[in-house]
A and B are shown apart, each in its own frame.
Chain A
Amino acid sequence: MKQEKTPEQRQYEQKVNEMMPKSRTGFQCIKAFISGGIICCIGQLISDVGSLMFTFTEKSRGAFTSIVLIFLGMLLTGIGVYDKIGKFSGAGSIVPITGFANSIVAPAMEYKREGYILGVGANMFKLAGPVLVYGIASSVLVGLIYCIIYALGGKA
């Protein structure tokens, strides 16, 4: 009985190992690395080209790059391409700011049929809202901590 089952089990184990995300994770990480890297390079290109066209301060250059990338993220989401990129790149398309744009545009489109105010307006930040909540709240906290440090005459 034992001998009969072992090859099956082995086969099963082999199959499980094949399906296990371990090797896939490695491959997926490479894909995320490449696509994330490419998106960031596009960002750098936008920043460089923008600096040739306009006179930027350090801050406005960053804002310009973000705005253009958000626009691109919106456009690609709108025409349905971003989903396809996402399938290939995993986190490589979620972590960059274009993914943030995607997380706003996707529900905005989705809830259109529930109307522009309670549908689009209310649901647009369904995914991105938490990002702003935690991002802004923690930045205020940091600001307040620095206030105390400055008040105590700490390092600049």
Chain B
Amino acid sequence: MSSFTDYIWVFVVGGLICVVGQLLLSYTRLTSARILVLFVTLGVVLSAIGVYEPLEELGKAGATVPLTGFGHSLAQGAIEGAKNEGILGAFTGGVKATAGGIAAAVVFGYLASVFFTPKTKK
């Protein structure tokens, strides 16, 4: 179980990552899809050079819940795969590490389309 201070760090780290997104959104007029792509790639790069790991230790879910954390999981999976299985692992590692999230997104997305209809826009 995490302590109260842990939660404060989660809040601060997660919040700050979102502020970076907001600044990009406000000042560069990037669309949200581009920001998502940018964030996941940024997560991969920061993770590869070893910057994201300490951030994760400090911010826990604050670092893993934003999409940069998704990139971090991808990169760590690929690095671990490369370490254990060589080139094959470099290909399989990233997706393996994030398979749960990707499969969940597919399944829940499909289910949502079955059960929900979009609200009519005004």
The chain A residues found within 8 Å of chain B, CB to CB, are 21, 24-25, 28-29, 32-41, 43-44, 46-48, 51-52, 59, 62-67, 69-71, 74-75, 77-80, 83, 89-92, 94-97, 99-101, 103-106, 108-112, 116, 120-121, 124, 127-128, 130-132, 134-136, 138-140, 142-147, 150, 156
Q: Which residues does chain A contribute within 8 Å of B66, judged by CB atoms?
A: 36, 40, 95-97
How far is B82's CA from A145's CA once the two chains are assembled, in angstroms? 9
Name the contact of A43 in the complex, choosing from B61, B86, B102 (C-beta under 8 A): B61
Which residues of chain B come closer than 8 Å to A112, judged between CB atoms? Answer: 113, 117
Interface residues on B, range: 35 or more
A143, B81: Cβ atoms under 8 Å? yes
B53 within 8 A of A: no
Which B residues from 1 to 38 make CB contacts under 8 A with A?
1-2, 6-7, 10-19, 21-27, 32-33, 35-37
- Measured between beta carbons, the chain A residues less than 8 angstroms from B32 are 91, 94, 99, 103, 127
Hey, which chain A residues are within 8 Å of B110, CB to CB? 108, 120-121, 124
Q: Which residue of A lies closest to B24 (CB)?
A: A91
